[in-house]
Amino acid sequence: MNLRVGLTGGIGSGKTQVSNELEKLGIDIIDTDDIAREIVKPGSPTIIKIAEHFGQQALTDTGALNRNWMRKHVFEHAEARAELERITHPVIADITEQRLRESSSAYCVAVIPLLFESEFTHLIDHTIVVVAPEEERIARVMRRSQLSRADVLKMMTAQMSDAERTARADTVIRNDGSLDKLGKVTRELHVQLLRLAAGN
C-alpha cells in the first residue's frame, strides 16, 4: 500500500490550493467534502437516515440535502452536529479507506477538514496541516460563500484551533504569503513526501 497522507486545516486556510498543486504533480487526491456530497444524493441510505432524524426540513423539494438549513442548524446546536457526524462520518470513512486502497500514485492525499476532530487518523500515515492568518481566512470564506463575518467566525469557532491542529501534525504548511509562494512550498513538500513514500 502506498503512503497515505491526510491534509487538513481550518476553513479558508488554503487546503484546496495545496491539493490542486499536488494533483497537478500526478498525486491521487481524495476529497472527503466530495464524498460527503455524494452520499446525500436524493434517495441514498444516508439522506434517508438524515431525514428520519432531522425531519423533512433537512431536505429540499427534490429530496436533496438542504445545505443552508443544515449548516445553520448544526452550528447553532452542538448535539445536532454530533448526530449528523454520527450518521455521515462512518460512511465517509469507509469510502475514503476504499479509495486510498485503490490509489496507484507514489503517495495518496486525503483532504479531510475534520481529520483530527472526527478521528480519521487511523486511515492516515502522515498528517499535514495548512494554517493561515485568521483575517485572511475570514475574508476568503466571505468572498467565496457570501456568508457574513459573524457566520464565518461561528464556523471557525466550532472547529479545532490551529494551535491544536499543529500540535498533532507531522508537517505544517504556513499559507501566509502569495499563491506563488504556497505553490513553491507545496512542490517542496511533494519532494519530501516522495522520499518518505520511498522509505528514505
The CA distance from 53 to 6, in Å, is: 30
Q: Is the predicted pLDDT of residue 15 greater than 90, yes or no?
A: yes
Domains and CATH numbers, the chain: 3-197 (3.40.50.300)
Q: Is the predicted pLDDT of residue 75 greater than 90, yes or no?
A: no
Q: What is the pLDDT of residues 76-131, one digit of tens each?
A: 888 998 899 999 999 999 999 999 999 999 999 999 998 998 878 899 999 999 99
Contacts of 3 by beta carbon, 8 Å cutoff, 6+ apart: 106, 107, 108, 125, 126, 193, 196, 197
Q: Is the predicted pLDDT of residue 68 greater than 90, yes or no?
A: no
Q: What is the pLDDT of residues 149-192, one digit of tens each?
A: 988 888 888 788 999 999 999 999 999 988 899 999 999 999 99
* Among candidate residues 96, 148, 89, 137, the one with its CA nearest the CA of residue 117: 89
